[in-house]
């Protein structure tokens, strides 16, 4: 079972619709994205600073405007508390708030630290993160894979199956060495021995 969370950022087409048993959370203005997609969320959560009015909905949880967590992060924490380990985040990129895009990219690392996998979808791109682990992306004839260090130095980084391969490399947060690698028709496996990596898949070459 997966947790789908909709935020108030740019709307993007669903890669897959929630299945039976999946949990859907609308984070504040993500309510509109849910409705546009023909989805009824299981929970509407937020401080409601991005909606003109609180919808007449049975499952609403209102939180203070002044708080440490963004509405998206509150939704992520709720999904984790419910036992979900796979997260699909929509409406978490673009819009007029680049700071929220950065916050949602950080949230992917938050999930990875807790043994969960998050996917953050944008227009023609998707991001995820790994910490002291590995991930394999299925073969594609084209497309870009970028690998960034997010946090302390990422030690023992390996990239196999891409146009540019590395083994036992060190990536740092102050130099984008892993940007713009390419698929070449085979699976790509990325691993890191210590530290966290942010991984971006783009169809926009």
Q: Name the residue among 94, 129, 55 with its Cα closest to residue 44.
A: 55
Tokens 């796979």 sit at which residue? 86
Q: Give pLDDT tens digits along the chain (205 positions).
A: 999 999 988 888 888 899 999 999 999 989 999 999 999 999 999 888 877 778 788 898 888 888 889 999 999 999 999 999 999 999 999 877 899 899 999 999 999 999 999 999 999 999 999 999 999 999 999 999 999 999 999 999 999 999 999 999 999 999 999 999 999 999 999 999 999 999 999 986 6
Residue 51 burial (CB count, 10 A): 17
Nearest-5° Cα angle at 3, 128 to 69: 75
Give domain limits for the chain: 3-123, 130-202
Cα–Cα distances (Å) from 138 to 14, 151, 179, 185, 190, in that order, read 19, 27, 19, 9, 12
Pick the CATH number of 130-202 from 3.30.43.10, 2.60.120.320, 2.115.10.20, 1.10.10.10: 2.60.120.320
The sign of the dihedral angle between the CA atoms of 65, 83, 113, 27 is: negative
What class is the 3-123 domain? alpha beta
pTM higher than 0.85, yes or no? Answer: yes
Task: Give the separation between CA 195 and CA 165, rounded to whole angstroms.
Answer: 19
CA dihedral 105, 113, 18, 134 (to 10 degrees): 90
Task: Give the separation between CA 184 and CA 139, rounded to whole angstroms.
Answer: 8
Q: Name the residue among 186, 178, 179, 180 with its Cα closest to residue 138.
A: 186
């Amino acid at each position: 079972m997966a947790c789908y969370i909709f935020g108030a950022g740019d709307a993007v087409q669903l890669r897959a619709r929630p299945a039976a048993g999946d949990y859907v959370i609308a984070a504040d203005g993500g309510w509109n994205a849910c409705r546009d997609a023909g989805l009824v969320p299981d929970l509407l959560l937020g401080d409601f600073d991005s909606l003109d009015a609180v919808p007449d909905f049975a499952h609403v949880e209102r939180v203070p405007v002044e708080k440490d967590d963004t509405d998206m992060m509150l939704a992520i924490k709720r999904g984790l508390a419910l036992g979900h380990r796979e997260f699909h985040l929509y409406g978490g990129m673009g819009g007029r708030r680049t700071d929220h895009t950065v916050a949602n990219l950080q949230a992917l690392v938050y999930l990875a630290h807790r043994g969960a996998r998050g996917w953050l979808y944008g227009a023609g791109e998707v991001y995820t993160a790994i910490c002291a682990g590995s991930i394999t992306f299925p073969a594609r004839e084209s497309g870009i894979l970028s690998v960034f260090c997010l946090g302390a130095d990422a030690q023992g980084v390996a990239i196999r199956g891409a146009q540019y391969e590395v083994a036992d490399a060190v990536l740092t947060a102050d130099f984008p060495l892993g940007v713009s690698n390419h698929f070449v028709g085979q699976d790509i496996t990325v691993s890191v021995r210590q530290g966290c990596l942010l991984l971006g898949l783009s169809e926009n070459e």
